[in-house]
């Protein structure tokens, strides 16, 4: 049974199904997602695993687990400050779609082009931007040393475009986590490339993720605060730019 090839083959589908069952059980037990969120995550996960590869699904699950931990970090204090999105820290289908929809598109494109190698890195770059932004928001919102990214003037914690030392460090950690997971996924399915090539691309994933978080902050400060963009559209633009940046590096467009 071939578990190393992507797409609709028996091995990939079997492992993907096992991982999806684990996702549903863990999400329900830990209350990471509400019921609509679980349904959305299940559909997205099947697209990512079956059309991409099951190792991509592990990257996405790593992001889900880590972001849940970041959300629950000092959660009661976040609730007191009015910086929590729910009463118990769960996420719904909107969060799943906002952070995982575009990575899902990469999996679909990889399936139709049969280019799962480059697809892995574009997928990882997209998830890295989402992870970096999520970590920065969840950790940085409790740091009172906040400045506006466009002016560097002090501002209130939690405002769109605000950044803090702890938020920047958290953004780097989130991006590095996805970069590391992408390197593991590449190593499992590596078709003969030398390790230096994989390590370089994983480093690009880390850098793109962190830069994508900065772009998200700039868009939030300039456009979202003025009502021109929503939080979801800001996330979507930042993740799309991360994907395109990785595509440019892979195909030597820049």
pLDDT in tens, 14-58: 999 998 888 888 777 777 787 888 888 889 999 999 999 999 999
How many Cα atoms sit within 13 Å of 88 on the Cβ side?
Answer: 7
Distance of CA 107 to the CA centre of its chain: 14
Asked if residue 238 lies in contact with residue 99, where contact means CB atoms within 8 angstroms, the answer is: no
Asked if residue 93 lies in contact with residue 39, where contact means CB atoms within 8 angstroms, the answer is: yes
pTM of the model: 0.93
Tens digit of each residue's pLDDT (9 = 90 or more) over 121-141: 999 999 999 999 999 988 988
Angle at 190 between CA 189 and CA 193, to 5 degrees: 170
Residue 88 has pLDDT above 60, yes or no: no
Q: Is 9 left (phi over 0), alpha (psi -120 to 50) or beta?
A: beta
| Closest to 59 in 3D by CA, of 249, 232, 202, 191 | 202
Query: In the chain, pLDDT over 70 holds for what percent of residues?
Result: 95
In this prediction, residue 253 has a pLDDT band, given cuts at 50, 70 and 90, of low
The whole-number pLDDT of residue 191 equals 74
Average pLDDT over residues 194-207: 94
């Amino acid at each position: 049974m071939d578990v190393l090839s992507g797409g609709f083959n028996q091995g990939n589908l079997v492992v993907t199904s096992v991982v999806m069952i684990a996702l549903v059980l863990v999400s329900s037990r830990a209350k990471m997602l509400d019921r609509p969120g679980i349904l959305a995550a299940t559909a997205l996960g099947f697209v990512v695993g079956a059309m991409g590869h099951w190792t991509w699904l592990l990257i996405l699950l790593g992001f889900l687990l880590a972001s849940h931990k970041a959300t629950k970090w000092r959660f009661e204090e976040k609730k007191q400050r009015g910086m929590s999105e729910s009463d118990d820290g769960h996420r719904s289908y909107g969060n799943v779609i906002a952070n995982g929809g575009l990575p899902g598109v990469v999996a679909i494109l990889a399936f139709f082009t049969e280019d799962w190698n480059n697809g892995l890195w574009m997928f990882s770059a997209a998830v890295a931007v989402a992870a970096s932004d999520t970590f920065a928001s969840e950790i940085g919102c409790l740091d009172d040393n906040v400045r506006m990214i466009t002016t560097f003037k002090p501002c209130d914690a939690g405002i769109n475009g605000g950044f803090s030392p702890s938020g920047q460090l958290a953004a780097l950690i989130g991006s590095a986590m996805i970069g590391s997971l992408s390197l593991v996924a590449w190593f499992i399915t590596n078709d003969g490339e030398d390790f230096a090539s994989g390590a370089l691309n994983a480093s690009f994933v880390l850098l793109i993720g962190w830069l994508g978080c900065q772009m998200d902050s700039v868009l939030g400060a300039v456009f979202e605060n003025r009502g021109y963009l929503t939080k979801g559209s800001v996330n979507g633009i930042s993740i799309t730019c991360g994907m395109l940046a990785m595509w440019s590096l892979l195909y030597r467009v820049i």
